[in-house]
A and B are shown apart, each in its own frame.
Chain A
Amino acid sequence: MRFDPSEIGEVLEMLLFRELDIRAVTLSVNTLPAIRPTVGDTLAALEETLEPLLKRLRPAVERVASRLGVKIVTVRLAVSPISIMLEPIGKAEAAVEIAKHLDGLAEKHGVDMVGGFSAFVHAGVSRGDAALMEALPEALNSTRRLAGFLNVASTATGVNMDAVRAAAEAVLKMEPHAAARFAATANMPEDVPFMPGAYHGLGLPDAVVNIAVSGPGVIEAVVRNMPNADVRTLHDAIKRAAFKITRLGELVGREVAKELGVPFGSVDLSVAPSPKVGDSVAAILEAVGLPRVGAPGTLFALALFVDAVKKGGAMATSTIGGLSGAFIPVSEDVVMAEAAREGALTFDTLKSTLAVCNTGIDMAGIPGDAPPDAVAALIADVMAVAVALDKALGVRLVPIPGAKPGDVYDLGGLYGRVVVMDLGKYRDIPLARRKGTAPPAVERLKKG
């Protein structure tokens, strides 16, 4: 098979100058066989289940990265929801111990993050869920690599306001680095390679490899090269670029799965930014023709982009998974963070973007003394959209102690600089204290 020099040049340009890399290889492992009635036995069984795979994970990823010449940014592990493992034990202290143990295992084996410190509480709270929820702030505050979520709403069951409230209160007890590893979510799919959404789903085999791609720089360059193109031509060009980015994910996923001897799961079609310059989703939207992300037209630009990414990516991989949309985590995207600091991007703008992307409100800073009512009500708003539109959405807020709107806090690494945003003037919102589960929308009836 011969390649035209321009074809080789195009790929080289993407890899060398447009920050094209693989954001994450996530090994997802069924840890339910490690369920034991006591915490000591659980820890031993967890280690026995995970170690044989963990020992081989990073070396396998490094071999593939080296052979192909492609950069793989993070290596991650996803485990079964820890709430299930806590069912027989039912104690928050046990949850914290498991959290620390997983964190230690990750560090020992060079795994950057572990997802799955999570519970599904969209229709109610079980014994294991309760233990996990109680442990959440301490578990995340006392670890560095652990991530988790509370799934507090689903299309099938509605929005659990008790769980929304609990998620809000848990977030407010977390230190910034811990809150960056937690989200309140709705409709979480089972094969997400992105944190904090990753966990090992109930419908999966014992182990699979899921892939998260990056590559906003590639698409930004494409868009910048077409200043006079009409929107349909632009859409087509983005689609082609998304195809190529996703193909790289497919290749890496297959190769890592082969190295590890486990099935290849899926490629998340999402284009994810990083705090590096030239790796910004917001910059793509501005290249489409916005003076600043957040300006009128932002939703249109985002919708055009997301649709093109999905259509291009859909043909590039045989197994689409995860959240597959556009990621706009505010702090992790330099242009997004700058727009938030300038006030071009507010919680209201972010709430409106939910309609056309799959992130929700992600990595936005709030004052450390933010009113729990306002936080819970914001989460409830996002959950309502997720249920009404039947999509996966999340809320990841980072409380910064002593900060006021406009302040910036550096979380470092891939998390970037968190801009503290204005939650509004209302401290007292009685709705956010009402209990119970809001019923599902009529959408549910379509499923029978």
Chain B
Amino acid sequence: MELAVVSVLGADRVGIVAGIASVLARHNVNIIDISQTVVRDIFSMVMVVDMSKADIDIAQLRKELEEEGRRLGVMVGVYHIDVFRYMQRI
């Protein structure tokens, strides 16, 4: 599995999950885990996704998700799972 973490942060509105998920689905990126909350109208979502069957690389995925984020008015970040593996596991 080629895992990445997608983070989404911004003002809550209808369609954020759908917008982000549709970009992932279009490129055959599978959502493994998802955690989402809204605190005081701030929407926050973290996804762990599997890119091993994706038709694009992580840089291209980031570009497309950032574009979708701009459309939705939220901030999107895409990170390789190794960053979390290195910083949180010995």
Contacts and interface: CB of A to CB of B under 8 A. Distances in A.
Contacts of A244: 87-88
B83 A69 contact: yes
A6 to B, nearest CB: 10
A255 B84 CA distance: 15
B82 to A, nearest CB: 6
Given A8-B84, A66-B59, A69-B62, A15 B89 contact: no
A67 B80 contact: yes
Given A248-B86, A248-B87, A250-B86, A3 B48 contact: yes
Looking at chain A, what size class is its interface with the partner chain? 20 to 34
A1 B86 CA distance: 12
A69 B87 contact: no
Question: What secondary structure prevails in chain A residues at the interface with B?
Answer: helix
Given A1-B89, A7-B84, A7-B88, A66 B46 contact: no
B58 interface: yes
Interface string B71-90: 00001011110111111111
A222 interface: no
A68 B79 contact: yes
A5 interface: yes
A70 B86 CA distance: 13
Contacts of A248: 83, 86-87
Interface in A1-47: 1-3, 5, 7-12, 14-16
Contacts of B87: 11, 14, 244, 247-248
Interface string B43-81: 000101000000001110010000000000001011110
Contacts of A423: none
A251 interface: yes
Contacts of A8: 5, 7, 35, 46, 48, 84
Interface of A: 1-3, 5, 7-12, 14-16, 66-70, 244, 247-248, 250-251, 255, 315
Interface of B: 4-5, 7, 9, 33, 35, 46, 48, 57-59, 62, 75, 77-80, 82-90
Given A8-B48, A15-B83, A16-B9, 6 more contacts: A5-B46, A8-B35, A12-B5, A12-B77, A68-B80, A69-B79
27 contacts: A1-B85, A1-B89, A3-B48, A7-B88, A8-B35, A10-B88, A11-B83, A11-B87, A11-B88, A12-B79, A14-B87, A15-B83, A16-B9, A16-B75, A16-B77, A66-B62, A67-B58, A68-B82, A69-B4, A69-B62, A69-B77, A70-B83, A247-B87, A248-B83, A251-B82, A251-B86, A255-B82
